């Protein structure tokens, strides 16, 4: 499922809303999550999962092709932990 | 690092501010978005949200684990796990403000 398919499905379930409003709703949700993570905040959606940011220290990496060492500076990476309820749903057949 | 946590309430508020819906309906839409994504994943479908990231299901085979407290060997049954891969856009946004 892509973002546009998600919007399409929601638009069908909510015929009283304009398609462009459904689009704005979906965009707003993902933008809000992105902004929170950019501020270093955690996003916790019970039953679904939690997004957080983890810091990676600077390290000396290697170019796997040439073997040259390269300095990799400190950076932050997004992380998602699946919620308990969704994890259980994925495993009930 | 994270002094506050964003939850459904903040997402609902953002939707409420952005679109002219009631708070109640905004909350329902937030829930529907999460439910649609969950439903697709449970059906085994990957979910790709452009400029945010993608969610995919990975099937894990059975392996032998160990109870770290007792040292006892226990089989870990085959299971499905959800993996999230952040898009380049999301990774860049997280690092540009750091």
pLDDT tens per residue, range B38-66: 999 999 999 999 999 999 999 999 999 99
pLDDT value at residue A21? 95
pLDDT-derived band of residue B28, with 50, 70 and 90 as boundaries? very high
State the best of A9, A35, A37 to mutate against chain B, taking most chain B CBs within 10 Å.
A37
| Contacts with B8 from chain A: Cβ below 8 Å | 45-46
Mean pLDDT of A52-80: 92
We report the CATH number of the domain holding residue A58 as 4.10.520.10
Whether residues A6 and A48 share a domain: the answer is no
Residues 6+ apart with CB under 8 A from B52: A3, A30, A33, A34, B86, B87, B89, B90
Whether residues A33 and A72 share a domain: the answer is no
Whether residues A29 and A63 share a domain: the answer is no
pLDDT value at residue B60? 92
Nearest CA-CA partner of B38 in A7, A85, A22: A85
Mean pLDDT of A34-61: 94
pLDDT greater than 60 at residue B94: yes
Query: ipTM strictly over 0.85?
Result: yes
pLDDT value at residue B2? 47
Whether residues A9 and A27 share a domain: the answer is yes
Whether residues A18 and A31 share a domain: the answer is yes
Q: What is the mean pLDDT of chain A?
A: 94
Whether residues A17 and A50 share a domain: the answer is no
Whether residues A36 and A49 share a domain: the answer is no
Whether residues A83 and A50 share a domain: the answer is yes
Q: Give strand pairing partners of B57.
A: B82
Q: What is the mean pLDDT of chain B?
A: 93
Asked whether the beta carbons of B1 and A53 are under 8 A apart, the reply is yes
pLDDT value at residue B96? 85
Whether residues A83 and A58 share a domain: the answer is yes
Whether residues A58 and A36 share a domain: the answer is no
Residue B46 to residue B44: CA distance in whole angstroms: 7
| Contacts with B61 from chain A: Cβ below 8 Å | none
Residues of the domain holding A56: 44-93
Residues 6+ apart with CB under 8 A from A34: B52, B90, B93
Asked whether the beta carbons of A36 and A43 are under 8 A apart, the reply is yes
pLDDT greater than 90 at residue A16: yes
Provide the domain count of chain A: 2
| Contacts with A21 from chain B: Cβ below 8 Å | 19, 21
Residue B71 to residue B73: CA distance in whole angstroms: 6
Nearest CA-CA partner of B82 in B31, B44, B36: B44
With vertex at residue B64, the alpha carbon angle to CA B62 and CA B66, rounded to the nearest 5 degrees, is: 140
pLDDT value at residue A7? 97
Chain A nearest C-alpha distance from B69 (Å) = 23
Contacts 24+ apart (CB under 8 A), A36-39: A36/B6, A36/B10, A37/A78, A37/B90, A37/B93, A37/B94, A38/B93, A38/B94, A38/B96, A38/B97, A39/B97
pLDDT greater than 50 at residue A29: yes
| Contacts with A91 from chain B: Cβ below 8 Å | 79-80
Whether residues A33 and A73 share a domain: the answer is no
A positions 3-62 inside 8 Å of B (CB): 3, 6, 9-10, 13-14, 17, 21, 24-26, 28-34, 36-49, 51-53, 55
pLDDT greater than 90 at residue A34: yes
Quick check: helix, strand or coil at residue A79? strand
pLDDT value at residue B3? 61
Asked whether the beta carbons of A90 and B41 are under 8 A apart, the reply is yes
Whether residues A51 and A93 share a domain: the answer is yes
């Amino acid at each position: 499922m892509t973002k546009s398919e998600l919007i399409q499905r929601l638009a069908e379930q909510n015929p009283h809303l304009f398609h462009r409003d459904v689009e704005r709703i979906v965009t707003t949700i993902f933008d809000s999550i992105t902004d929170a993570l950019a501020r270093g905040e955690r996003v916790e959606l019970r039953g679904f999962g939690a997004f957080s940011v983890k810091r990676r220290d600077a390290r000396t990496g290697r170019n796997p092709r040439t073997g040259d060492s390269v300095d990799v500076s400190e950076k932050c990476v997004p992380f998602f932990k699946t919620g308990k309820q969704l994890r259980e749903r994925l495993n009930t057949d | 690092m994270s002094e506050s946590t964003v939850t459904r309430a903040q997402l609902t508020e953002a939707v409420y501010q952005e679109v002219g819906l009631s708070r109640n309906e905004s909350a329902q839409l937030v829930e529907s978005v999460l439910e649609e994504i969950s439903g697709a994943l449970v059906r085994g479908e990957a979910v790709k949200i452009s400029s945010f990231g993608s969610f995919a299901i990975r099937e894990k085979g059975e392996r032998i684990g160990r109870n770290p407290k007792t040292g006892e060997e226990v089989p870990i049954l085959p299971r499905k796990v959800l993996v999230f891969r952040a898009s380049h856009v999301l990774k860049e946004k997280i690092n540009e403000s750091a």
